[in-house]
Amino acid sequence: MHEYDFIIVGSGAGGLSAALHAAKHGKVCILTKRMAAESNSSWAQGGIACVQSDQDSIEQHVSDTLIAGAGLCKEAAVRTIVTDGPQRIEEVINWGVHFDQKEARDGHLEFDLTREGGHTQRRVLHARDATGKELTEKLIAAVRADPNIKMLENHFAIDLITTAKLDLVSEDRVLGLYVLNEISGEVETFRSDRVILATGGCGRVYLYTTNPRIATGDGVAMAWRAGAAVADMEFIQFHPTCLYHPQKRSFLITEAMRGEGARLTDKEGTDFMQKYDARGTLAPRDVVARAIDSEIKRTGAPCVYLDISHKPAEFIIEHFPNIHEACLGVGIDITKEPIPVVPAAHYQCGGVLTDLNGGTSIRGLCAVGEVGSTGLHGANRLASNSLLECLVISDRAVKHMIHKMPVGKPAEQGYTIPAWKSGNAVNVDELVVIYHNWDEIRRLMWDYVSIVRTSKRLQRAAARLRNLKREVQEFYWNFKVTSELLELRNLVETASLIVECAIRRHESRGLHYTLDYPELDESRPPASTVVRRY
């Protein structure tokens, strides 16, 4: 058994920053199922939204977030995260993170802020078009330099261990995790009174996504199985502009490009966004994604186009060097021609239900970043608020844990945590079955539960997912666990939660748009969809 003061699952911005805060108070272990640099955070292109300009204000940032969230944001969460933001930005700069700067009129350097859809001011800090990479690389370096932090790569968290699971008569609280050591192939026990989930999102539930291979909803599925409340999983944000090309199916074209003047057009070069929203290309993501989906269905075209070629080539290459290089690699010169784009699953706005400190319904368990649902995003995330949430909530989660459960003072004594038992399980002999089920889940979610939904499609998805869950459970109990099997198990659980929440919402709000209920439900105040296993 491995014992730590803090165990953090995930190596994105939320997990890494939480580890650096926690290391001031005790021994920390970061578990990550692949290499440390593989996370949703590292793929983030746009930047971090944070008030930094005299022309901007906290009130404006709060207002923009509430408007984008379509009535479901928790204003206390929005105000807290936006207000705490500048201090967290200063902190990551001290950890070595560099944001682009420019020379001001008086000659001194200031942040080169950009603007994205839904923002009324320039407030997005960025490092060219690879902000997430810059942020996570510097945080990983700081983590590796801290003697109080141990990073265990290729360690896949299987399930949470709680008092309820051990049938102990006490308050339900977390005790640790069972973890697959993918190097040895053995399942090991990790013990801690303080566990932070920072596993990111679930984009791989869908056939087309901007997310990396690791985004399989692991944290939500683990927390759900442990009995934690889950909220608002019907709100899956589809990024409007994913590169449409067979060689690069998951390549995101940052919203910052639209913030710098790129236009969405049809194949004839006609700007179509004004037909759908007065804000045009800079409308919030849910509006733009639905508009693109409508144009594709109306015209029968496979994609639409994002055109920034009217800007000087030097400006484009300086601001978007990675996108320029990636597109050149598939024969598209964005300084001279438009980029073919389609929407793709990008971000889960719901997740494990938390308070403002990342605290869940299970004592000792916190969730930070995309895996958690603080109420910041509501029914639709405002662009570049996600990394801000990671930094703010990770800090608050550690402070909350230290206050509630001081290190060195165990919450309770006398636990006997059993070692993992494989029973009569044998090695998986036919991975093809796992891969087939994986593909089926992703396709049915894309066909039935994507940008535009209907009750009939949702019911069909729910019926098939029930059958798939039975098949996956049979595999899980009969075969020794592997990363492929664990990801499939989490994928089907997360997909089922998305569908369950979508079925329960009888209105169209934010990212959840259904043809059967195309209007807002004005008969009652807006409310989150909260589900519990027991």
∠ CA(135), CA(139), CA(144), 5° rounding? 150
Catalytic residue (one of 128, 285, 396, 505):
285
Cβ proximity of 334 and 316 under 8 Å = yes
The residue among 459, 488, 456 whose CA lies nearest residue 472 is 488
Q: Where are the alpha helices (DSSP H) in 449-529?
A: 455-478, 483-504
The residue among 5, 4, 12, 126 whose CA lies nearest residue 393 is 12
Q: For position 139, what pLDDT does the model report?
A: 98
- Distant-in-sequence, close-in-space partners of 139: CB < 8 Å, separation ≥ 6: 13, 16, 17, 20, 92, 95, 97
Euclidean distance between CA atoms 72 and 527, whole angstroms:
7
Q: What is the mean pLDDT of each run of 10 residues along the chain (534 residues)?
A: 96 98 98 96 93 96 97 98 98 97 89 93 94 97 98 98 82 93 95 97 94 96 97 96 88 91 95 94 90 92 96 96 95 97 96 98 97 98 96 98 87 74 78 89 94 96 96 88 95 98 97 96 95 88
SS3 (DSSP) at 114 = strand
CA dist list (Å): 10 to 79, 235, 440, 458:
26, 22, 27, 31
Partners of 453 in the beta sheet? 514
- Distant-in-sequence, close-in-space partners of 442: CB < 8 Å, separation ≥ 6: 204, 205, 206, 207, 491
Euclidean distance between CA atoms 31 and 11, whole angstroms:
8
The amino acid present at 289, given as its one-letter code, is A
Query: What phi and psi values does residue 477 have, to the nearest 5 degrees?
Result: -85, -20
Q: For position 412, what pLDDT does the model report?
A: 57
- Distant-in-sequence, close-in-space partners of 191: CB < 8 Å, separation ≥ 6: 1, 2, 3, 4, 161, 175, 176, 417
CATH number of 241-344: 3.90.700.10
Cβ proximity of 99 and 127 under 8 Å = yes
Q: Chain centroid to CA 75: how far?
A: 20
What is the number of residues in the chain?
Answer: 534
CA dist list (Å): 152 to 36, 117, 149, 485:
8, 38, 10, 20
Euclidean distance between CA atoms 444 and 491, whole angstroms:
12
Residue ranges covered by each domain of the chain: 241-344, 431-531
Q: For position 411, what pLDDT does the model report?
A: 57
SS3 (DSSP) at 182 = coil
Euclidean distance between CA atoms 46 and 50, whole angstroms:
13
Euclidean distance between CA atoms 448 and 461, whole angstroms:
6
The amino acid present at 194, given as its one-letter code, is R
The residue among 243, 236, 160, 209 whose CA lies nearest residue 417 is 160
Specify the CATH number for 431-531; select among 1.10.10.10, 3.30.70.2740, 1.10.357.10, 1.20.58.100: 1.20.58.100
Euclidean distance between CA atoms 494 and 2, whole angstroms:
28
Euclidean distance between CA atoms 113 and 47, whole angstroms:
9
Report the Cα–Cα distance between both ends of the chain, in Å, rounded.
29
Cβ proximity of 324 and 316 under 8 Å = yes
Structure tokens at 390: 């990671």
SS3 (DSSP) at 48 = strand
Question: Which residue's entry shows tokens 């933001």?
Answer: 85
Structure tokens at 184: 């040895």
Burial of 162 (0-12, 13-18, 19+ CB in 10 A): buried
Euclidean distance between CA atoms 148 and 22, whole angstroms:
9
532 is catalytic: no
∠ CA(242), CA(234), CA(363), 5° rounding? 115
List pLDDT tens digits, range 470-525: 999 988 888 889 999 999 999 999 999 999 999 999 999 999 999 999 999 999 99
